[in-house]
Protein backbone atom coordinates (compact mmCIF):
# COMPACT_ATOMS: atom_id res chain seq x y z
CA UNK A 1 0.00 0.00 0.00
CA UNK A 2 1.32 3.43 -0.93
CA UNK A 3 1.97 5.94 1.84
CA UNK A 4 1.22 8.95 -0.33
CA UNK A 5 -2.20 10.27 -1.18
CA UNK A 6 -2.96 9.34 -4.79
CA UNK A 7 -5.30 12.26 -5.45
CA UNK A 8 -3.18 14.91 -3.78
CA UNK A 9 -3.18 18.29 -5.51
CA UNK A 10 -1.24 21.34 -4.41
CA UNK A 11 -3.80 24.17 -4.25
CA UNK A 12 -3.36 27.68 -5.63
CA UNK A 13 -0.25 27.15 -7.75
CA UNK A 14 -0.84 28.71 -11.17
CA UNK A 15 2.38 27.44 -12.73
CA UNK A 16 2.12 23.75 -13.72
CA UNK A 17 5.89 23.28 -13.46
CA UNK A 18 5.88 24.58 -9.88
CA UNK A 19 2.84 22.49 -9.06
CA UNK A 20 4.46 19.29 -10.37
CA UNK A 21 7.67 19.98 -8.43
CA UNK A 22 5.76 20.67 -5.23
CA UNK A 23 3.64 17.55 -5.67
CA UNK A 24 6.77 15.44 -6.10
CA UNK A 25 8.37 17.02 -3.02
CA UNK A 26 5.21 16.37 -1.01
CA UNK A 27 5.02 12.74 -2.12
CA UNK A 28 8.63 12.27 -1.10
CA UNK A 29 7.93 13.90 2.27
CA UNK A 30 4.75 11.86 2.86
CA UNK A 31 6.60 8.61 2.21
CA UNK A 32 8.96 9.36 5.12
CA UNK A 33 6.35 10.39 7.70
CA UNK A 34 4.33 8.28 10.15
CA UNK A 35 0.64 8.28 9.29
CA UNK A 36 -2.66 7.29 10.86
CA UNK A 37 -6.04 6.74 9.26
CA UNK A 38 -8.42 9.63 9.89
CA UNK A 39 -12.02 10.11 8.83
CA UNK A 40 -12.48 7.11 6.62
CA UNK A 41 -9.97 7.01 3.79
CA UNK A 42 -8.00 10.14 4.76
CA UNK A 43 -4.72 10.15 6.64
CA UNK A 44 -2.95 12.42 9.08
CA UNK A 45 0.82 12.69 8.78
CA UNK A 46 3.10 13.34 11.74
CA UNK A 47 5.55 16.11 10.92
CA UNK A 48 7.95 17.32 13.61
CA UNK A 49 5.75 16.05 16.43
CA UNK A 50 2.37 17.32 15.19
CA UNK A 51 -0.34 15.69 13.05
CA UNK A 52 -1.33 17.42 9.78
CA UNK A 53 -3.77 16.73 6.97
CA UNK A 54 -2.67 16.45 3.36
CA UNK A 55 -4.16 19.91 2.76
CA UNK A 56 -2.10 21.59 5.46
CA UNK A 57 1.32 20.05 5.09
CA UNK A 58 2.43 21.42 1.67
CA UNK A 59 1.60 25.00 2.65
CA UNK A 60 3.20 24.57 6.04
CA UNK A 61 6.47 23.47 4.45
CA UNK A 62 6.36 26.54 2.18
CA UNK A 63 5.63 28.81 5.14
CA UNK A 64 8.67 27.43 6.96
CA UNK A 65 10.85 28.00 3.90
CA UNK A 66 9.72 31.49 2.88
CA UNK A 67 7.57 33.32 5.41
CA UNK A 68 9.34 36.10 7.29
CA UNK A 69 7.37 37.21 10.34
CA UNK A 70 7.34 40.90 11.23
CA UNK A 71 7.11 42.42 14.68
CA UNK A 72 3.81 43.99 13.66
CA UNK A 73 2.20 40.73 12.45
CA UNK A 74 -0.90 39.44 14.18
CA UNK A 75 -1.25 35.67 13.86
CA UNK A 76 -4.62 34.17 14.71
CA UNK A 77 -3.72 30.60 15.57
CA UNK A 78 -6.73 28.42 16.26
CA UNK A 79 -7.65 24.77 16.18
CA UNK A 80 -10.10 23.81 13.43
CA UNK A 81 -13.77 24.15 14.38
CA UNK A 82 -13.11 26.52 17.29
CA UNK A 83 -15.08 29.60 16.15
CA UNK A 84 -12.27 30.63 13.79
CA UNK A 85 -14.57 32.57 11.44
CA UNK A 86 -16.03 34.53 14.34
CA UNK A 87 -12.56 35.27 15.73
CA UNK A 88 -11.31 36.36 12.29
CA UNK A 89 -14.28 38.70 11.86
CA UNK A 90 -13.73 40.22 15.30
CA UNK A 91 -9.98 40.68 14.81
CA UNK A 92 -10.47 42.16 11.33
CA UNK A 93 -13.04 44.63 12.66
CA UNK A 94 -10.83 45.71 15.56
CA UNK A 95 -7.65 46.05 13.52
CA UNK A 96 -9.37 48.00 10.73
CA UNK A 97 -11.87 50.10 12.67
CA UNK A 98 -10.27 53.35 11.44
CA UNK A 99 -10.24 52.24 7.81
CA UNK A 100 -13.64 50.51 7.81
CA UNK A 101 -16.04 52.02 10.35
CA UNK A 102 -19.20 50.05 11.02
CA UNK A 103 -21.59 51.03 8.23
CA UNK A 104 -23.58 49.39 5.41
CA UNK A 105 -20.47 49.08 3.21
CA UNK A 106 -18.31 47.25 5.77
CA UNK A 107 -16.25 44.49 4.08
CA UNK A 108 -17.61 41.80 6.41
CA UNK A 109 -21.08 42.37 5.00
CA UNK A 110 -19.87 41.33 1.54
CA UNK A 111 -16.90 39.03 2.14
CA UNK A 112 -16.19 35.94 4.16
CA UNK A 113 -13.80 36.36 7.12
CA UNK A 114 -11.60 33.69 5.53
CA UNK A 115 -11.07 36.03 2.55
CA UNK A 116 -10.34 39.06 4.73
CA UNK A 117 -8.03 37.13 7.07
CA UNK A 118 -6.35 34.52 4.86
CA UNK A 119 -4.98 31.20 6.08
CA UNK A 120 -1.23 31.49 5.97
CA UNK A 121 -0.54 27.90 4.95
CA UNK A 122 -2.81 28.10 1.88
CA UNK A 123 -1.57 31.46 0.56
CA UNK A 124 2.00 30.20 0.90
CA UNK A 125 1.37 27.92 -2.07
CA UNK A 126 0.47 30.69 -4.52
CA UNK A 127 3.98 31.83 -5.32
CA UNK A 128 5.93 32.56 -8.44
CA UNK A 129 8.72 30.04 -9.04
CA UNK A 130 11.21 32.88 -9.58
CA UNK A 131 10.25 34.70 -6.39
CA UNK A 132 9.01 32.55 -3.47
CA UNK A 133 8.28 35.64 -1.36
CA UNK A 134 5.86 36.88 -4.05
CA UNK A 135 2.67 35.60 -2.44
CA UNK A 136 3.47 37.11 0.93
CA UNK A 137 4.16 40.51 -0.62
CA UNK A 138 1.17 40.32 -2.95
CA UNK A 139 -1.41 39.48 -0.31
CA UNK A 140 0.13 41.12 2.73
CA UNK A 141 1.67 44.45 1.76
CA UNK A 142 0.31 46.36 4.72
CA UNK A 143 2.74 46.94 7.58
CA UNK A 144 0.27 45.23 9.96
CA UNK A 145 -0.67 41.83 8.67
CA UNK A 146 -3.54 39.80 10.12
CA UNK A 147 -3.07 36.15 9.23
CA UNK A 148 -4.92 33.01 10.22
CA UNK A 149 -3.42 29.60 10.81
CA UNK A 150 -4.43 26.21 12.18
CA UNK A 151 -0.84 25.17 12.98
CA UNK A 152 1.22 25.75 16.13
CA UNK A 153 3.20 29.00 16.16
CA UNK A 154 6.58 27.27 15.95
CA UNK A 155 5.61 25.93 12.51
CA UNK A 156 4.91 29.44 11.16
CA UNK A 157 8.43 30.65 11.67
CA UNK A 158 11.37 30.05 9.39
CA UNK A 159 13.80 27.40 10.52
Q: What is the spatial distance between Cα 13 and Cα 104, in angstroms, rounded to a whole number?
A: 35
**30 touches 3 (CB < 8 A):** yes
Q: What is the spatial distance between Cα 80 and Cα 60, in angstroms, rounded to a whole number?
A: 15
Active site residues per annotation = 150
Q: What is the 3-state composition of the chain as percent helix, strand, coil, each rounded to the nearest 5?
A: 35, 15, 50
Q: What is the spatial distance between Cα 64 and Cα 118, in angstroms, rounded to a whole number?
A: 17
**90 touches 83 (CB < 8 A):** no
Amino acid sequence: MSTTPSSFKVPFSEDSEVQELMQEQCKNLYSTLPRERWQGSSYLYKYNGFWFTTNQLPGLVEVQKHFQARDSDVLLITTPKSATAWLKALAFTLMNRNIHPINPSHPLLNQNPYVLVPQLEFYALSHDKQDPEYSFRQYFQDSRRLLGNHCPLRYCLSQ
